[in-house]
Every structure is written in C-alpha cells, then in structure tokens.
Structure 1
C-alpha cells in the first residue's frame, strides 16, 4: 500500500497531464467547425482538471489515507455519472429547445464520456493503491 502523500502526488501529476493535453487537443479541435462541440467540451474539462490539480498542489496538508480513499471512490462514482450523462447526450441528441444541433450534442456527449472515463481510471487506480 502506498502512502496518502505519494498517491496524492501521483493523482496531481496525472490530472495535470490529462488536463493539459485536454486543453491543447480541445483547443485545436474547437477551431475546426466539424469538431467544435467536442473541442470546446474537451477544452473546458481540461481547464477544470488542470485548475483542480494546481489547487491541490498548493495545499499544505494531505488527507489521511482513509479520507483520501473515500474522496477518490466518491469521485469515481461521479465519473460513472459523467459517462452515463455523456452517453445519453450523444445517443439521444437532445436539442435543448433548439439551442443545440444533433451533431453538436453528439460531440459534447462523446467528449464528456471520454473525460469521465479518463477521470474514472485516474480515481479508481489511485484508490486501489491505497
């Protein structure tokens, strides 16, 4: 079993890398009309992930193992919800009162599925290390 400090460090590094890659790839894809929705959604998730990693890196204390494991497992459960929500959006393509086209709904939904799945892997892997 790893220490809470080493697991937190690993999660922060992985979240930083994932967030940075998401911002870069999402930003590039957002410039292309055909992939704009996917790119914008990816860019936004990446910015939030990178921000959370930066905030966590600045914290002076690390939660105890038990609390950190609980946080990671709750996050993993939320990640499953993100994947389900993204899948629903991609499959059902709701228009939200005409504000969203089917292709954009699919793009946003698929981006949410990918982000949720990646975060699930990061969270669950870290929880298992504890």
Structure 2
C-alpha cells in the first residue's frame, strides 16, 4: 500500500471520529439556550467532516504523495483562516441586525476556532507524515 493511500486512510478515519464527536457534542450543546451557538456550529462542522470523510472513503484513487501533501498544507493554511475568522466573530459578536444574540455569536466564533484548530492539527500531522 502506498504512503499516500495509508495517509488518506488515516485522515479519513480521524476525520470520521472527529466529525462523529462533533455531531454528538454539538447536538447536545445546541439544546440549552446558553450554548446554542457553539452547539449548532459544532454540529454543522461535524456533519461536513463526516460528509467529506464519506466522499473520500468512496474514492478508488488517491493523489500521489507529493500532491496529497500539497493539498494537506493548503488545507492547513485555510484552517488558520478559520481560526482567525472564528476569533474575530467571537470578539466582535455581531448581531446581524438583531438576528443573532451576542452570546450566540461568541459561541459560533469559539466553535469555529476549535474546529479550525483541530483540523489544522489533523492536516499538519498528515502532511508531515508525507515529508520526504
């Protein structure tokens, strides 16, 4: 089995675990009003993670190691952007014309920071394992 296939399989497995945990925890935290923003955002990220893992798992072909490493590093850079955007949302707490409570905005922002940071670690570890 190629190193790219092994890394892809490992990433899919980790993403599935993280997505499942995010959906479960997010679902529970979305119920109380005081944690609703954090919970909803966590649940949505988890659902997307699970969808990406399922689509990737279903593919017969994986990119070559060099290309896969580049994809993972680009994803890691995007993850940094997610963390920054989430931090901005958490600090600024926009209400979007009264449609969002400041506490919910803070919760959404903090959840984005957490998700971005976790995905950054996942992507960076995988990319590092493909280092020459």
TM-score by length of 1: 0.97
Q: How does 1:115-130 map to 2 (within 5 A)?
A: 115-130=115-130
Q: Give the distance between the partners of 1:95 and 1:33, measured in 2 at CA.
A: 16
Residue 24 of structure 2 corresponds to: 24
Q: Give the distance between the partners of 1:37 and 1:49, measured in 2 at CA.
A: 18
Q: Give the distance between the partners of 1:126 and 1:23, measured in 2 at CA.
A: 23
Residue 7 of structure 2 corresponds to: 7
Residue 128 of structure 1 deviates from its aligned partner by 0.2
Cα RMSD of the aligned pairs, angstroms, is 0.9
Residue 87 of structure 1 corresponds to: 87
The runs of at least 4 consecutive aligned structure 1 residues that moved more than 4 Å come to none
Residue 96 of structure 1 deviates from its aligned partner by 1.4
Residue 37 of structure 2 corresponds to: 37
Residue 46 of structure 2 corresponds to: 46
Residue 117 of structure 1 deviates from its aligned partner by 0.3
Gaps of 5+ in 2: none
Residue 101 of structure 1 corresponds to: 101
In the comparison of the two structures, how many residue pairs are matched?
Answer: 129
TM-score by length of 2: 0.96
Residue 94 of structure 1 deviates from its aligned partner by 1.1
